[in-house]
Structure 1
Amino acid sequence: MIRIEHAVKYLDKKVVLDDVNLEFEDGKIYGLRGRNGAGKTMILRAIAGLIHLKHGTITIDGQIIHQDIDFPPELGLLIESNNVLPDFTLRKNLQLLAKIRKVATDEMIDEAILRVGLDPKDRRKVRQYSLGMKQRAAIAQAIFEQPKLILLDEPTNAIDLDGVKSMRAIFEQEKQRGASIILASHNPEDLSVLADEVIDMAEGKVINAQ
């Protein structure tokens, strides 16, 4: 369970989160909808512990971000530009990340790479990938440890139509596994197909949740 209470955030004296109150349950997919600057990415960043709020709290399973914990303990993350290291293969990237939590095996890494339509034996460095392949790589990074919480910012960007269908199927599978998924997307079909609940945002405020 994730609870956001009275979240306020300023950037350059501008309000980017304006008294946001939300709850997210386990095993559901939530869609964040709104124009650029509406606050969607800022919500994801706050939940991930990447920013500090001016006011309010974010609680993950009873633990407050930046008070009890620095970030969610089981987190898969794709926010804006992906953080896959460009001078390593994708497999090496995931192996390096796996050393932090010591959860994922080489078999889990290979399975995640295959699931997103890439080849774990590909010796190319990530910087040699196309934009669509880089996006698939970022999704592999978000899911390979089978986290309880997955945050996705525009996850189907730069991916071809067949690939989009495959990625949506992966997100559904992760939901069935019990993960909570919060995704921000400008693609209305992503939200209509995937989201159990859509949250509309504008100017840092929640204007509708359904």
Structure 2
Amino acid sequence: MKIEIEHVSKKIKDALVLDDVCMTLESGNIYGFKGVNGSGKTMLMRAVSGLMYPTSGTISIDGKVLGKNMAFPERIGMLIENPAFIDSYTGYDNLKMLASINKGEVDISRALETVGLNPHDKRKYRKYSLGMKQRLGIACAIMEEPKLLLLDEPFNALDKEGQEKLSEIIRDMRDKGSLILLSSHDKDELENLSDVIYLVDSGRFKLK
């Protein structure tokens, strides 16, 4: 997979949240975004996912322009901001419902076990701790073995074991050829995991 971001800008009211962003992203790499809250990291991920279209510029995936030749990238997994799950469903049932939308073959139990959750846990989502909710969000992002994985602050609320497990998952997916975008306030995790790091400030992205 090859993503080409060409002169992408996004203006919301009078604020320029993405400012002439240009970059090329390729499979088999982890691209780290480093910047403070509101710098533009999440907004670029939303643009790459097709959840938001830029005010100007284009985002192409393998030669197809988002918003023109395709609405969303194919085989995408993402954890952006707060994932929405149904409070009265178990973790397994939440993922089962979401998997049914795409009608693909998904090993839900494996995805849950990979992030350290028990697929047979009968607790409802509303009873989950913050860490369990984050793990479920990660399981949702990876369960369909995406070729494009967007992770916005995925280490939030995870204990040390959870952080180590997630780092292992991210590296494994990179090694299998996925293209991964990662933002994190954890400087060490970001630098240890990323093959390429972009410094983000006021909507501008520059290579570290």
TM-score by length of 1: 0.96
Amino acid at match of 1:91: Y
Runs (5+) with no aligned partner, structure 1: none
Name the counterpart of 1:175.
174
Shift of residue 89 of structure 1?
1.1
User: Could you tell me which residue of structure 2 aligns to residue 76 of structure 1?
Assistant: 77
**1:53 is the counterpart of 2:54:** yes
SS at the partner of 2:166? helix
Show structure 1 runs of 4+ deviating over 6 A: none
Aligned to 2:207: 209
Determine the structure 2 residue equivalent to 1:111.
Answer: 110
Aligned to 2:13: 12
Name the structure 2 match of 1:36: 37
What's the TM-score once normalised by structure 2's chain length? 0.96
Counterpart CA distance in 2 for 1:24 and 1:66 is 18
- Which residue does the alignment assign to 2:135? 136
Q: Any conservation in 2 of the 1:84–1:137 contact (CA below 8 Å)?
A: no
Q: In the alignment, what sits opposite 1:88?
A: 89
SS at 1:167's partner residue?
helix
Residue by residue over 1:129-155, the C-alpha shift from the partner in whole angstroms, topping out at 9 and shown as x without a partner, is: 000000000000000000100000000
Q: Tell me the SS of whatever aligns to 1:112.
A: helix
Q: Distance in 2 between matches of 1:149 and 1:84?
A: 22
The one-letter amino acid of 2:191's match is S
Structure 2, unmatched stretches of 5+, are: none
Task: State the alpha-carbon separation in 1 of the partners of residues 158 and 105 from structure 2.
Answer: 26
Q: 1:62 offset after TM fit, Å?
A: 1.3
Deviation (angstroms), 1:115? 0.5
Letter of the 2:71 counterpart: D
Amino acid of the residue matched to residue 209 of structure 1? L
Please tell me the root mean square deviation across aligned C-alpha atoms, in Å. 1.0
SS in 2 for 1:80: coil
Q: State yes or no: 1:165 paired with 2:164.
A: yes
Quote how far apart the aligned CAs of 1:205 are.
0.6
* Separation in 2, partners of 1:194, 1:35: 19
**Equivalent residue of 2:67, what SS?**
coil
SS in structure 1 of the partner of residue 105 of structure 2: coil
Task: For 1:22, give the aligned amino acid.
Answer: M
> Taking every aligned residue pair, what percent have the same amino acid on both sides?
43
